[in-house]
Amino acid sequence: MWYELSKEFIYNTIGLEGKLADASHFFIYDTVKIWFLLLSIIFAVSFLRTWVNTEYVRAHLQGKSALYGHVGASLFGIITPFCSCSAIPLFLGFIQARIPIGVTFSYLISAPMNNEIAIAMLFGLFGFKVTVMYIGFGLLVSILGGYFIGKMGMEKEILMDVKPINAKLEADLVRFSMKERAKEAWDYTYDIFKKIYLYVLIGVGVGAWIHGYIPTDLIARYTGEGNPFAVIIAVIMGIPMYSNAAGVMPLVEVLTSKGMLLGTALSFMMAVTALSLPEALILKKIISLKLIGIFFGIVGSGIIAIGYLFNAIL
Amino acid sequence: MKIEVLGTGCAKCAALENVVKEAVAKSGKFAQIEKVDDMMTIMEYQVVSTPGLVIDGKVVSTGKVLSVDDVVALIND
């Protein structure tokens, strides 16, 4: 409905024609659609999050089996908020509760990858199926990545002496009235939206320009089947882009519609969210460069493997 | 009354500290505000997500920047 309405507005009310009309229609249609979806999905996710906080996750994972730990930590990563600025207390707090280092990494991979902005953007731009694939394969990377890091015996790579607590931590869900939860979710949503709406606008704007002006075969040659290294290049390019997921994803969508393979797009988006340079710099204060290297290496190769696998199947 | 803001120098932690200052002024109570950035102390309070807010030794909030009114309510509790 919104598609026809915005089309009517551009072509008949304003009276634009040709490529310019095409690009402006795409721009208005996409921006408004994504803004709307961002608001509703971030609200829904942050509403659900008012039940669980990181302290609860830690208490819940304490003393659990390795398998339960990896799977549980990865799943909790979806529904808890994550800010790379609290990576240090989180990491040390988990170790303090004697949660294995591999399980801690499962959480550290899953939480930023499944952040609400990425999920909302994916859903808005690529639809339900791709979003589910992204979450599913993201879980796989965080479960296996954490498992491998745990197997490598990296405990000595933690640069800080953590005194473990032996007592059983108590796990309480956050108690709030529905009204308080809704208010908190809305405050959070508004806060996030204020920070990213401009990036979305710019991202969709550049996307609209590509959509209207750059020929399809050019994009297909560099990002499609014509380039066997596309996945690897995409992952490396994704590392410094964490804070701009909202602006980058509209571009990826346009590139995909013009011949970039979906596996390459998925790998790129996973690299944007899971491999973040600021997070690595923060973690460097408490774990060795070697462990950070291993962390990036394992997650990076997992993401690259998924990209190639996807491109081969689809 | 002693209010501690737990956090290792992130933007949200500074934001919460400012909120607390404003809330104390608004509540009219006398309170000592302290910014805690020592990791070991934060861990002793069992806080995993910063910023954390501690009033008289009790953790009342973690992982978020509260509003001034929320903090005033916590102070008056």
| A171: pLDDT strictly greater than 70 | no
**Residue A137 has which token pair?**
């394969």
Mutation site, B43, B47, B49, interface A, largest A CB count within 10 A = B49
Domain extent at residue A10: 2-313
**Measured between CA atoms, how close is A85 to chain B, in angstroms?**
6
Would you call B39 an interface residue with chain A, using a CB distance cutoff of 8 Å?
yes
| A261: pLDDT strictly greater than 80 | yes
Plot region of A308 (φ>0 → left; ψ -120 to 50 → alpha; else → beta): alpha
Q: What's the rounded Cα separation, in Å, for the pair A267 and A237? A: 11
- pLDDT for A102 equals 94
How does pLDDT run across A203-218, given as a tens digit for each residue?
Answer: 888 888 887 778 877 7
The H or E element that residue A306 is part of is helix A289-313
pLDDT class of A243 with cuts at 50, 70, 90: low
Residues 19..38 of B with a Cβ closer than 8 Å to A: which?
Answer: none
Residue B14 class from Cβ within 10 Å (0-12 exposed, 13-18 middle, 19+ buried)?
Answer: middle
The question of whether B66 is a catalytic residue gets the answer no
The question of whether B13 is a catalytic residue gets the answer yes
Which of B10, B11, B39, B48 is the catalytic position?
A: B10
Q: What is the 3-class SS of chain B, one letter each residue?
A: CEEEEECCCCHHHHHHHHHHHHHHHHHCCCCEEEEECCHHHHHHCCCCCCCEEEECCEEEEECCCCCHHHHHHHHHC
**Residue B62 has which token pair?**
């973690």
How does pLDDT run across A134-155, given as a tens digit for each residue?
Answer: 999 999 999 999 999 999 988 8
pTM of full prediction above 0.95: no
Tell which wins on pLDDT, A244 or A70: A70
Q: What's the rounded Cα separation, in Å, for the pair A128 and A84? A: 27
**Domain count of chain B?**
1
pLDDT class of A186 with cuts at 50, 70, 90: very high
Q: What's the rounded Cα separation, in Å, for the pair A288 and A296? A: 13
- pLDDT for B32 equals 92
ipTM summary value = 0.79
Domain extent at residue B62: 2-76
Q: What's the rounded Cα separation, in Å, for the pair A117 and A68? A: 27
C-alpha distances (whole Å) from B58 to each of A144, A175, B20, B33 are 38, 17, 15, 14
Would you call B73 an interface residue with chain A, using a CB distance cutoff of 8 Å?
no
A35 within 8 A of A192, measured Cβ to Cβ: no
Q: What's the rounded Cα separation, in Å, for the pair A85 and A98? A: 22
Q: Which residues of B touch A179 (CB under 8 A)?
A: none
Residue type for position A54: T
Which of B13, B55, B71, B75 is the catalytic position?
A: B13
Bridge-based pairing of strands B58-62 and B52-55 is antiparallel
Binary contact (B62, A162; C-beta < 8 A): no
Mutation site, B5, B41, B47, B48, interface A, largest A CB count within 10 A = B48
- pLDDT for B4 equals 94
Spatial CB neighbours of A127, under 8 Å, sequence gap ≥ 6: none
**Residue-by-residue pLDDT tens, chain B, 77 positions:** 899 999 887 788 888 999 999 999 998 888 999 999 888 888 888 888 888 999 998 888 888 888 898 899 888 87
Binary contact (A89, B48; C-beta < 8 A): yes
How does pLDDT run across A117-132, given as a tens digit for each residue?
Answer: 888 888 888 889 999 9
**Domain count of chain A?**
1
Q: What is the mean pLDDT of residues A166-173?
A: 71
Would you call B70 an interface residue with chain A, using a CB distance cutoff of 8 Å?
no
